[in-house]
Amino acid sequence: MRFLLIFAALTMLFLSPLSRDVRAAVWVEQISGDPKAVVVVRKGDFLKAEEMMRLKSGDVIKVLDDGVSIRILLGSGTVKKITRAKSPYTVAGKEKGSSLFANLVGEVKQMLTARSDHTEAVAMMTRGRSKQLRIMAVGAEENLLPAGTRELALVWQGGKGPWNISLLGEETDKPLFSRKNLAQRKSILATDKTGLEAGEYQLVLEDSGARPQASREITLMVVERDELPEKVRKLSDLKLDKRVEARFMISLLYKQSEWRLYAHSLAARYDLKKEQLMLERMK
């Protein structure tokens, strides 16, 4: 069966135009550690390195942190590991002493192995994450909300219910708003009629059903509405249907990590499944 797969893949490659890029194809097999610490510079543009990414001749791989490495598959079927000490690494052109057939056979074999390993790695990571409590679309540094926010819709992964969720003010340990014994991994935290005032808040998610119990805490910064991006402010002034407005707001906010939790809240609040999925997949 494996031979048939390799033969089919080789056939497809031979039937397609054989450019110099095919003869010297290089692939990212695996990234160990924080993937954000690995970048690919291509003709002056900075690209996010991803597993199974195809690299081009002249690409420069930069590993920015210790403890992070990237393994790449060369056209001959060999594997090269690049660490910070060996960075930057420039992807060369056609490898010396390697034939087209040897490159193709080695590449297909390694690709099949890498895909199998990659699939298992993804499955293991997914299984691991399923046990961990994680609030979706949380920004790496800041999580901003506009002042006046009355409802915060949250979605999380992992753990075992029921879950408790609370919002704490800056100067008190007593929850301003809370919901307890939640059976689903989704909740809308409703505030009072005036909404949240500008300031710093702590959002606490507790897993009361798992043993040992777990909790996640994130900081929310509520800012005045004039700190929203200009296009979002203008959109708010149009008084559109709330669901339509949410779609437009998400399209304006999703690329800004500090506003991603708010964008995800809008998607969850109005059950915009495509937008939710897009935001959940973003790193």
Listed ranges 89-98, 194-203, 260-269; the one with the highest mean pLDDT? 260-269
Q: How far apart are CA 226 and CA 283, in angstroms?
A: 27
Report the pLDDT value the prediction gives residue 224, as an integer from 0 to 100: 95
Q: Is the pLDDT of residue 94 over 90?
A: no
* Beta carbons within 10 angstroms of residue 22's beta carbon: 16
Phi and psi (nearest 5°) for 120? -65, -40
* Beta carbons within 10 angstroms of residue 8's beta carbon: 11
Please check whether residue 88 lies inside any domain of the structure: yes
In which band, very low, low, confident or very high, does the pLDDT at 198 lie, cut at 50, 70 and 90?
very high
Q: How far apart are CA 272 and CA 255, in angstroms?
A: 17
Q: Which residue has the tokens 């924080």?
A: 34
> Domain holding 189: CATH number?
2.60.40.1220
- 125-171 tens-digit pLDDT: 333 334 578 899 998 789 999 999 999 999 998 888 899 999 998 76
Element (H, E) at 51: none
Q: pTM higher than 0.75, yes or no?
A: no
Q: How far apart are CA 264 and CA 274, in angstroms?
A: 11
Answer whether 123's CB lies under 8 Å from 240's CB.
Answer: no
Please check whether residue 126 lies inside any domain of the structure: no
- Do 162 and 271 fall into the same domain? yes
- 232-243 tens-digit pLDDT: 998 888 888 888
Domain that holds residue 203: 134-281
> Number of structural domains, the chain?
2
Please check whether residue 97 lies inside any domain of the structure: yes
Report the pLDDT value the prediction gives residue 131, as an integer from 0 to 100: 55
Answer whether 82's CB lies under 8 Å from 61's CB.
Answer: yes
